[in-house]
Structure 1
């Protein structure tokens, strides 16, 4: 690219790869490369660049639907990440979860390399409050599971394009399962040592629910059948969560609707269309459970003044 076009080109390339962002780079951008490879429903990206700062602001979030979490692994340089009033510094071999649906500030003061895994926000099976708790929390290479995932993510970024589709699908499923276990460790829900069979199964079930929220036929019977267990055993696994399977599904759907109703790109969608997108089939039922959960109707939430 001609010198005068490099800054704008690099800014646009980063925004298209991850999410729309304001980017500040030196006057002279000498070089930068971005390489992406799909791994089933995930995306692996290796980026090499010059020093820069990037912001994802509420205004950009409102203009751009982005339902992704980025697992940012630092390969070279130093990174500073701010999100959810937390600040983390990463060294090579360390990574952090970054939520692209919330404001974030990232800074790379030196030439850097990142190897990132981009996955749908719902893939980890976490609620909004749980996701907020784990973002911008460093995963150090000295941690047992963190160190293993660091090596795994780095290798996948280098080799993802070489795997046949079936192998890629299995690898994607396994890496999401491991990230879900890691998230539960960070939330204090998994004790030290090997998680029990029920704990691992619960993680898989929550991930499955997250992937199928839009399906109005998602029921305990469907979930149990997909995991080769009885409905009774499914309910038993959820007893420790202090919530029923049905309530868990409903709460996740309501969170998705609440986010969509705030997005500028969803302004032309009717409230009924938003509800249908997240698996609600009855407008009256949706309105009733939304009010019960948030203390106002969906239209009141959409039209409420924002700070």
Structure 2
């Protein structure tokens, strides 16, 4: 993912913590209107509204992460009459259970599930026991007219190596590092069509899905291009095509993921007792000499030097 600082901006934050109870609802609605779209918010159970949110706007996409108390967010007839909203919404429910209603259906969205819907209609999402979710808003202009959903679609995102999980990572990462918004927009645009009810898959989306799988299963020494393709439900040839523009293909991508994981373990206090050979094995690399050689190519120092330079000295002989 490449950085484009000129198109990035710091996250826009909102917190109710220091806002008087009487002003929370109106200010929360104003924030949502600026960052996403006009919505009416109603607290549930007559309890004070609580919310915290971070939002990042790219050139076209709008990313957000929201947590809050029991509430209903709705786009009713009033909001629809006041403002046209040519957006497709994606919500990934991380905590809580949402009840989504539109003109034609009622859907339950549980933690670990996402929903895609046409945000230009009337709809509501209610969380009776509080919520935490990631949100992506995509303008109509970035989609083929036939791809705009005519009915909501629910999908799972809690399993690594799936499109939904890869999309969740894109949204979380851009909120942590908003300077990477240009790359996040590119990745989200590649992934999004495959999540639509009548979506299509690009080679780029298969590459991103494969990388998500590699990051979750790198410790498996038997993981390879062949086994990755099987897990993704595609042919090895198709997977090679998805990585055709990367030197070394999927094999080099897997090695890079393993080396990055090893670099993290080398400075992890909980892994201080591991020898270099043990650490390499935990990252799916069985040969210590191969690991040390490839690590030095990537980081210009040996694993032992990398650990020592960062103040983590292994007591025994590696």
TM-score bracket, normalised by the shorter chain, equals 0.5 to 0.7
- Structure 2 residue 228 is the aligned partner of structure 1 residue 187: no
Q: 2:183 aligns with which of 149, 152, 170?
A: 170
Larger deviation, residues 17-26 vs 44-53: 17-26
CA contact (8 A) 2:193 2:200 kept: no
Question: Is residue 124–residue 179 contact of structure 1 (8 Å, CA) maintained in 2?
Answer: no
* Counterparts in 2 of 1:110 and 1:99: CA distance versus 1, 3 Å: same
- 1:46 paired residue number: 65
Residue aligning to 2:164: 146
2:101 and 2:199 map into 1 onto residues whose CA distance is: 22
Cα shift readout 1:115-152 (whole Å, capped 9, x = no counterpart): 1112212212233xx4233x421111248322332333
Detail structure 1 runs of 4+ shifted over 6 Å in the superposition.
194-197
Return the TM-score normalized by structure 2: 0.52
Equivalent in 112, 134, 142 of residue 131 of structure 2? 112
Shift of 1:84: 5.1
8 Å CA contact retained: 1:95, 1:150: no
> Structure 1 residues 188, 75: CA separation in 2 closer, same or farther (over 3 Å shift)?
closer
Pair 188,32 (structure 1): closer, same or farther in 2 beyond 3 Å: closer
Please say if residues 68 and 119 of structure 1, whose CA atoms lie closer than 8 Å, have aligned partners that are also in contact: yes
Q: Distance in 2 between matches of 1:153 and 1:93?
A: 15
Match of residue 290 from structure 2: none
Name the stretch that deviates more: 38-47 or 145-154.
145-154
Structure-2 residue corresponding to 1:3 = 21
Pair 1:42–1:84, CA change in 2 (3 A):
same
Question: Aligned partners of 1:93 and 1:40: how far apart in 2?
Answer: 28
Deviation at 1:69, TM superposition (A): 1.8
User: What is the DSSP-based 3-state SS (H/G/I as helix, E as strand, rest coil) of the residue aligned with 2:137?
Assistant: strand
**Count of matched residue pairs:** 188
Question: In structure 2, do the counterparts of structure 1 residues 152 and 188 end up closer, same or farther at CA, with 3 Å as the change threshold?
Answer: closer
- Is contact 1:81–1:136 with CA below 8 Å preserved after alignment? no
Contact 1:70 1:116 in 2 (8 A): yes
- Structure 2 distance, partners of 1:56, 1:162, is 31
Q: Once the 2 structures are TM-superposed, how far is the Cα of residue 43 of structure 1 from its aligned partner?
A: 1.6
| Superposition deviation, residue 41 in structure 1 | 2.2
Q: Larger radius of gyration, structure 1 or 2?
A: 2
Deviations 1:71-125 (A, max 9, x none): 1111221112123523322223321113221111111111211211122122122
Q: Distance in 2 between matches of 1:114 and 1:171?
A: 18
Give the C-alpha shift of residue 188 in structure 1: 7.2
Change (3 A) 1:8 1:47: same
Distance 1:92 1:42 in 2: 24
Q: Which has the higher helix share?
A: 1
Indicate yes or no: 2:148 matched with 1:131.
yes
Name the SS of the counterpart of 1:89 in structure 2.
Answer: strand
| Long gaps (5+) in structure 2 | 1-18, 202-232, 243-318
Q: Say whether the 8 Å CA contact 1:75–1:93 is kept in structure 2.
A: yes
CA RMSD of aligned residues (A): 2.9
